[in-house]
Amino acid sequence: MLKILEDVAISAGKAILEVYHAGPNVTLKQDASPVTEADERAEAIILAGLAKAFPDIPVIAEESVAAGRIPSVEGGRFFLVDPLDGTKEFINKRDDFTVNIALIENGTPVAGIVYAPAKGVAWAGEKDNVEKLLVDENFAVTSRTRIGCRMPSSDLTAVASRSHNSPETEAFLTEKGIKSTKSVGSSLKFCLVAEGDADVYPRFGRTMEWDTAAGDAVLRAAGGMTVDLDGKPFRYGKTKQATDSDFANGHFIAWGRRG
């Protein structure tokens, strides 16, 4: 499965970069968040690729949900897709945007790929196998390196969002005695923890499941775990929530190895 997700993500990334270099046209969705032609073209490519390879697995994709196209996930197995995570970075010509595809089984992300086309790098993982891929200008994979979360030390490093820091995040860092932080956009934060460049990614702001599932899948395959504020494994497929919309996330902590 992972090879198919890899091919689909790279094809979507190619379309994104075509728009990136030409200059995107930006519109606003009903929630005032930006969307570009790149989001829409990438999602169409991903949906077509997944439908061809896995016709019986439903797909929850960001732009489709915004348009009201929401299949049932009651069977417990479905894909979560964010065709362009980090649209604001994309619009501002920063290269921290990613393509995210994840497979969810019974609430758990079991396979996923995060592809950063402007950086020429991807992270893909399932079960206990996770690799960092280098992708050249012809969209060919030129190298694969096995990665994994590092063992914790007394001097932890956190990774945080460039645009979504919060007092809760600062309080968490203080409580844990974390003085070293790295800042990066989109789902790349999960990948830094997965490859051992950081130890923890705390998020005390609202996200959607398609924002986090692929990075979470990579992290778990690398030996880490994402948990809610009660310390329980973070779950996906959250519908009929009393206090928020379907597929909305609560706060979470993404940890590398815990010892």
Question: Range of 29's domain?
Answer: 2-146
Mean pLDDT computed over 222-233: 97
Closest CA to 137 of 124, 113, 122, 119: 119
Q: Are residues 29 and 137 in the same domain?
A: yes
Q: Are residues 70 and 163 in the same domain?
A: no
CATH number at residue 88: 3.30.540.10
| Pairing, β 77-85 against β 59-61 | parallel
**pLDDT at 257 exceeding the cut of 70:** yes
Would you call 24 exposed, middle or buried from its count of C-beta atoms within 10 A (0-12, 13-18, 19+)? buried
Per-residue pLDDT, 92: 85
Unique residue bearing structure tokens 């992300």: 109
Q: Percent of the chain scored above 70 by pLDDT?
A: 94
> Whole-number mean pLDDT of the chain?
93
**pLDDT at 134 exceeding the cut of 80:** yes
In this structure, of 40-44, 74-78, 198-202, 215-219, the range with the lowest mean pLDDT score is: 74-78
Mean pLDDT computed over 161-169: 74
Residue 237 belongs to a domain = yes
Higher-pLDDT residue of 37, 4: 4
Q: Are residues 120 and 248 in the same domain?
A: no
**pLDDT at 33 exceeding the cut of 80:** no
Of the candidates 146, 168, 188, which is a domain's last residue?
146
**pLDDT at 76 exceeding the cut of 90:** no
Per-residue pLDDT, 30: 62
Mean pLDDT computed over 109-137: 97
Q: Are residues 190 and 103 in the same domain?
A: no
DSSP H or E segment with residue 17: helix 2-22
Residue 152 belongs to a domain = no
DSSP for 156-184 reads -EEEE-SS---HHHHHHHHHTT--EEEE-
Q: Are residues 136 and 165 in the same domain?
A: no
Per-residue pLDDT, 162: 54
Contact 161, 150 (CB under 8 A): no
Per-residue pLDDT, 185: 82
CATH number at residue 170: 3.40.190.80
Task: Enumerate the β-bridge partners of residue 181.
Answer: 158
Q: Are residues 133 and 17 in the same domain?
A: yes
Higher-pLDDT residue of 23, 63: 63
**pLDDT at 232 exceeding the cut of 90:** yes
Of the candidates 146, 168, 194, which is a domain's last residue?
146
- Domains held by the chain: number: 2
Q: Are residues 184 and 125 in the same domain?
A: no
Q: Are residues 99 and 164 in the same domain?
A: no
pTM of the model: 0.94
Of the candidates 118, 146, 174, which is a domain's last residue?
146
Higher-pLDDT residue of 18, 154: 18
Contact 213, 102 (CB under 8 A): yes
Mean pLDDT computed over 124-148: 97
Per-residue pLDDT, 1: 92
Contact 150, 244 (CB under 8 A): no
**pLDDT at 22 exceeding the cut of 90:** no
Residue 15 belongs to a domain = yes
Name the band, by pLDDT with cuts 50, 70 and 90, for residue 69: very high
Per-residue pLDDT, 218: 98
Q: Are residues 103 and 217 in the same domain?
A: no
Residue 151 belongs to a domain = no
**pLDDT at 52 exceeding the cut of 70:** yes
Report d(CA 84, CA 76) in Å as an integer. 25
Per-residue pLDDT, 188: 95
Q: Are residues 98 and 202 in the same domain?
A: no
Contact 12, 63 (CB under 8 A): no
